[in-house]
Amino acid sequence: MKYLIIGGVAGGATVAARLRRLDENAEIVLFERGEYVSYANCGLPYYIGDTINERDKLFVQTVKGFVGRFRIDIRTRQEVVGIQPGNKQVKIKRLSTGETYIEGYDKLVLSPGAEPLRPNIPGINSKKIFTLRNVSDTDAIKRYTLQAKPRHAVVVGGGFIGLEVAENLHDLGIGITVVERADQVMAPLDYSMAAIVHQHLAEKKVKLILEDGVENFEETPEGLSVHLQSGKKTEADMALLSIGVRPETKLAKEAGLKIGSLGGISVNAYMQTSDPDIYALGDAIEVTHQVTGKPALIPLAGPANKQGRIVADNLVYGNKETYSGTIGNSIAKVFDLTVASAGANAKLLKREGIPYLSSYTHSASHAGYYPGALPLSIKILFSPDDGRLLGAQVVGFHGVDKRMEMLAQVIQRKGTIYDLISLEQAYAPPYSSAKDPVNMAGYVADNVLKGRTKTIHWREIAAISGDTVLVDVRTPGEYALGTLPGAINIPVDDLRKRLSELPKDRPIIVTCAIGLRGYLACRILTQNGYANVRNLSGGYKTWHTATANRHIIGSDIV
């Protein structure tokens, strides 16, 4: 059996290695138009910032290593330029010479990946403007930072990669401006959670410009002028484009393979394309989103590796293994913060017409009495019918990864908020609390779902009626540091003896720091005859962070 694989890195290299482990006698040829067949794509920003200071550590496997261990025919710097499914042949171009040749196959695997978006705007071809997708891009950025010694960089796009690059350039002593067309960074997060990231970027002196895009670039004697659509401009020595990627589907389209509604290669559960002898995987394909059940483009290394194993198994043993889809479980380091999300966010659920409830908790990363406990913010989204967990977002300084993994397992298995309550975590004071933050998220959601407390969210505060009474139940000292406009202060411990100060015929909204004391206050009030009482979900912390102005515009904007 002769297998041809187009593209290396996570998907194609995984297929190749697995095929050899399953079939010692197969003829396996892997084509990679770049110089490197298998490298740590996700580690590239950290090499730029010197966190990874040895370039060789980026390479998961070299051509020599692949050939020696797996006896695979690796052809780098050779690009497949055409597929002829009828003849079961591909046309290959040797990039070093420009000559072309034909290679036949029994089975073909497409792992072409995705390409960075590079808009056709004036000045885009400046050598001071970079994208980051592969080792060559990384080398170019690294070389420029060493030779040109830039003092300021503009990162266009506030997604995961953009912010990782921003952090690593910042670590080199380069001033950073992030320009993002949307009203927030990190699109998988809902705004209230992204606002925590906005706040942290401001603390790190990163200039953040939201709801604005780049109109054009202009090279100047001093460097690079970045002209924005608002009419403003910012000066820099370099720019990094990180505005998203699109699936590389040119070969598939020209070969007549089916393309999905979102522009990715369409595959079935066996990872088979519309041609039964051609399989596809990785960033170029559409997958099923396990929450919505709809097609999605989710370019992540973890799913690509899992798909690679499934493809290899199906090639050798026939279509027996299936890929059920993904929940888009992702995580990123943003300076001192860790940011993670899985499942569906509010924007996606609204777009798909899926009803949901949500809740916020701000627990400590471990037992509060043990030194070093830091805030850990969790937002969960769940079904109002049965409590099925639809999505989760976690932002904090410590322990974010393990909480997201707990939450993601429940989402993936179509579990509910009650599963969050029953999850048993490893507990010791340096690592958690007896009631873990994930348990607490479940408890809060249970109170909401069962109607023990009614909540109001931060966005709704601006639209409350004029007769609403706002009650801040924190201590006078906390209240003095800032509160909701018009809120009166009645500490929760004084509430029972001051009930006469609150009218029973008007709506009451209770707030505290993070929602816990507010819940206690709501229980006191409702059991004392107050019928229209709501607790501010996530408390003053969520409201203040989400409503603060985080459009940080530096003095170099003119």
The residue assigned the tokens 């009482």 is: 533
- What are 499's two structure tokens? 């009930």
Question: Of 70, 56, 75, 98, which Cα lies nearest the Cα of 7?
Answer: 75
From CA 366, how far away is CA 393, in angstroms rounded? 18
Cβ burial, residue 227 (10 Å; 0-12/13-18/19+): middle
| Residue 409 to residues 307, 405, 478, 540, Cα–Cα distance (Å) | 19, 6, 37, 30
- Residue 458 carries which side chain, given as an amino acid letter? W
Catalytic status, residue 42: yes
23, 26, 27, 42: the catalytic one is 42
CB atoms within 10 A of CB 345: 27
DSSP string, 444-484: HHHHHHTTSSEEE-GGGGGG--TTPEEEE-S-HHHHHT---
From CA 438, how far away is CA 399, in angstroms rounded? 11
The beta strands (E) that lie in 111-237 are given as 114-116, 129-131, 152-156, 175-180, 207-210, 214-220, 223-228, 233-236
- End-to-end CA separation in angstroms for the chain: 64
**Residues identified as active-site:** 42
